Chain A
Amino acid sequence: MNSNHARLMRYYDGELDNDETAELEAELAGDPESAEVLEGLEQLSEFLRREAGQRPAPDLTDAIMAQVAREPRQDRKLEPAPSRWRVIGPAAAAVLALAASVALVNEISKAPEARVPVVQQPTPPVAPPHEEPVEPTVVAERDAVSIETVDFGVREGTIFVVQEGEGSTPVVWLMDEPAPAGGRMEPL
């Protein structure tokens, strides 16, 4: 990674001031390599937004670094003060990884067949949903008889069950002889 790449990343993150921005934009007009790097950054960001559902916050690196600085370390008292490299090490690794991604995107984008999309997540083969073998519904003892269809014709009738312990007996009662008053009927 050269300094120009770092500057491009800061430009993409909106961290350059007006003068630096104007200067870089003037350079981009005559520097196709830098323009490609910037395009790669945009494509990488687009990929991340598409895959992760959100665009990384522009100040993500700053937030991470601030969190790292705030986190108390249990072994801090036992060790000498961290060197400068230990503090910036994680950040440097992150920057290197990002730069590698940008370079990789650029390399891929140079291939005419693979311009869009630059980075494509391979779609894993979708396994058919595993269906547990379904046991036939065990008809409960009390449901061993079911009245499926009744045509009472011109008469009135009702269907109910007489409960007895855990079992029950379905009853089809037609109104040839009305059900005795006081009889308790339960819906089937």
Chain B
Amino acid sequence: MRSALFALLAAFVLSTPVPSRAQAPSAKPGASATPPKKDVKAEPAQAQFFVEVMVLYASNSKKGIDPRIPNMPELKRPPFSAYDSYELLTEPPPLATTGKTRVPLSKEDPKTLKLPNGRVLQVKLLEILPKQKDRESVRFSASINEPRGKDFLPLLEVKAGVEQPFIVAGQSYKTGMLALVMRVVK
């Protein structure tokens, strides 16, 4: 019977967890505490992102969709389909051929773009998000203000992948409205 007792006790002892080396006291006093070598490679320059803004004028002037506007099925879907005409407004002139305006995204220096109705669009980079499966995306803010400082759209924060559009619509313009098609590009 005693042998069984000893065998059982031995099993208990063997099954008792032994403190791991990780719990042992760390390096001896005086041992060199050389910090790990840092990667001396310079970080690559941060990629420059832009917000590409395409200003569309929506109206019911029976002119159809401006052929300079790239294929946008959204314009044929409600509520945009309530307007039968979409004209690409070219503002500012340097990008008149495409009708797109690229506004650089910067954290420190918000950039502005004057809209055809006199209001001012301002964009500011908030954060460049980590890549996910080669998809680049950023967080940025946008606001639309009246020339006299009155806010139209005080704040809009968007997380957007590169080349993924979204639309800010509803501003009155002439007999219709403006639709800003915005897209982050590099």
> How many residues on the B side are at the interface (Cβ–Cβ under 8 A)?
48
Contacts of A122 in B (CB 8 A): 11-12, 15-16
Q: Contacts A174-B152, A177-B171; is A182 near B82 (CB within 8 Å)?
A: yes
Inter-chain contacts of B17 with A (CB < 8 A) = 125
| B116 on the A face (CB < 8 A) | no
Tell me the nearest residue of chain B to A136, going by C-beta. Answer: B132
- B164 / chain A contacts, CB cutoff of 8 Å: 144-145
With both beta carbons as reference points, the residue of chain B lying nearest to A172 in the complex is identified as B168
A interface residues (Cβ-Cβ under 8 A, vs B): 100, 103-104, 107-108, 120, 122, 124-125, 136-139, 144-153, 155, 157, 162-165, 169-185
| Cβ-defined contact, B74 with A169, below 8 A | yes
> A103: nearest residue on chain B (CB-CB)?
B1
Hey, what's the 0/1 contact readout for B152-173 against A, CB within 8 Å counting as 1?
1111111111001111111110
Task: Output the nearest chain A residue to B5 by Cβ-Cβ distance.
Answer: A107
Cα of A171 to Cα of B12 in the assembled complex, Å: 67
The answer on a CB contact under 8 Å between B177 and A145 is no
B66 at the interface (CB under 8 A from A): no
A179 to B171, CA, bound (A): 10
Could you write out 8 A-B pairs with CB less than 8 Å apart?
Answer: A107-B2, A144-B160, A163-B77, A169-B166, A170-B167, A172-B169, A172-B170, A185-B79
| Interface presence of B80 (CB below 8 A) | yes
Contact across chains for B168 and A176 when beta carbons are under 8 A apart: no
Complex interface: chain B residues within 8 A of A104 (CB): 1, 4-5, 8
On whether the beta carbons of A153 and B153 are closer than 8 Å, the reply is: yes
Which of B33-41, B86-94, B133-141 is the interface stretch?
B133-141
Q: Which residues of A contact B154 (CB under 8 A)?
A: 151-153
Give the 8 A-B residue pairs with the shortest CB-CB distance, closest first. A183-B79, A180-B82, A144-B161, A149-B157, A144-B164, A151-B155, A177-B177, A174-B170
